Amino acid sequence: MTTEPQAAQPDRGHLLRVLGVTFGVAVVVGGVIGQGILRTPGVVAEGVQNPTIIIALWCVAGLVAWIDAMSTVELAASIRKTGGPYIFARRAFGSLTGLAVGVRDWLGNMGGIAFIAVVFGEYLHRLGVATSVPIGVLALLIVVVVGSVQWLGTKVGGRSQEIGSAVKAALFTVLIIGLFLAPRGAPVATEIAPATAAALTFGGIVMALRAISGTYYGWNSASYFCEEVVDPGRTIARATFSGIAVVTVIYVLANLAYLNVLTPAEMAGSNLVAADAAGRVFGDVAGPIVTAISLVSLVTIINAMVMVFPRVLFAMAREYQISTLTRVAANGTPRLALIATVLAGGLLATIGVYETLLTFSTSLLALMSVLVNAAVIVLRVREPNLERPWKMPLYPLPAIVALAINTTLFVIFVVEDPLTAGKAFGMLAVLIGPGLAAGPAKARCGLIGAPR
């Protein structure tokens, strides 16, 4: 249902409640499925050579994402404000922690937008398209084009995500069916001898699970639109869990299809398993097929991110009364927050410093997940009467399990690279300093730009 602008603040506009379950599923599927399922199976096969265990690990990772999502869904359904983890952390732990989560979420994903845009440019060159144009310029252009679509409004942006995700799912379905049904061609060369990676080890399983878990990032995308989806108390749950289920099914079927064509040893020697599998089945046309699927996957991810992360900037600006970033067009788009996001992501892609942001954000991402899992427990204790249209089953077990997993990942990231983790926390402290000094505008928080 579309709401009317508030009479007291007609110049600011407001977010429009015009998105439904279909969009929610689309933004999860479109924001998750990308290069991971095309490349990661090779990493997994390096650690695990048993096909049954490989498939089981992909299923386990989907189950873990489902369990992890229970904290996010309960918080989103209860608080029902735009901004995702920033809103959850702020409600549970206060403005300072919320600001740290929001800054990390927005800035880290600006690096993500830049990285994906650069890969998009590289794939265009691989197809022989616009080879005279520098990759950085192509990356900037795709971010600007996607931003232009989002400029047209929430309805248009949401529909573009629905269409893009549907096309992506269809292309993966065609690839999977082709790998299952088509006759096999010549064997694919591999650098890994079958006997080299035959032994199953605990370290190999851990390596495989870490690689797989990374391919599920983005499953929480629907939770950023709580003020824009109809009936968020139910829609966020339906969209998130349905989206994770769709992603898991596609991932499992894709791996079954790869294993139908390649041996685990051949997969372990591959940097792009999908291309090698398609090469055995489709021959010389495999490269363009996989590249085309990759391009569609990348565009839908960029579209999802360019739609999601202006909402984080908008939510932070609303608390700190940065009025320019809280203005919303009549079509529901927070346009200045969108411009800031497009400029940041596009320019980072052009100048090439996004890799530093991505490296710094890895450990912070794990910590953000820990805080979200903890937030649901904190609010259950502190606000027992808070309306909760969706409650996690078997509480608090899912939250504790997810908390333990994400805490373990955080510790691993810090122990593996303490210097980078230290720099990341130092950079975050510097970035949130001005916000801490300014102080949150608590009295007006949540009033500017929110739908009735």
**pLDDT, tens digit, 9 for 90 and up, residues 111-157:** 899 999 999 999 999 889 999 999 999 999 999 999 999 999 999 99
What φ, ψ does residue 437 adopt, rounded to 5°? -70, -40
CB 318 within 8 A of CB 449: yes
Tally Cβ neighbours within 10 Å of residue 326.
26
Q: What is the pLDDT of residue 446?
A: 38
Q: What angle do CA 375, 379, 384 make, to 5 degrees?
A: 160
The pLDDT of residue 142 is 97
Residue that wins the pLDDT comparison between 271 and 219:
219
pLDDT confidence tier of residue 196, bands split at 50, 70 and 90: very low
Tally of CA atoms within 13 A in the half-sphere of 168 that contains its CB: 33
CA angle 443, 449, 452 (to 5 degrees): 90
DSSP-based three-state secondary structure for 76: helix
For 353, residues 6+ apart whose C-beta sits below 8 A from its C-beta are none
Tally the C-alpha atoms within 13 A of residue 447's C-alpha that lie toward its C-beta: 9
pLDDT at 34 over 80: yes
Please report, rounded to a whole number, the percentage of residues in the chain having pLDDT higher than 70.
88
The string of pLDDT tens digits covering residues 276-309 is: 999 988 888 888 889 999 999 999 999 999 999 9
Residues whose CB is less than 8 angstroms from the CB of residue 347 and which lie 6 or more positions away in sequence, other chains included: 140
- Residue 95 and residue 331: Cα distance in Å, rounded? 30
pLDDT at 271: 82
CB 364 within 8 A of CB 358: no
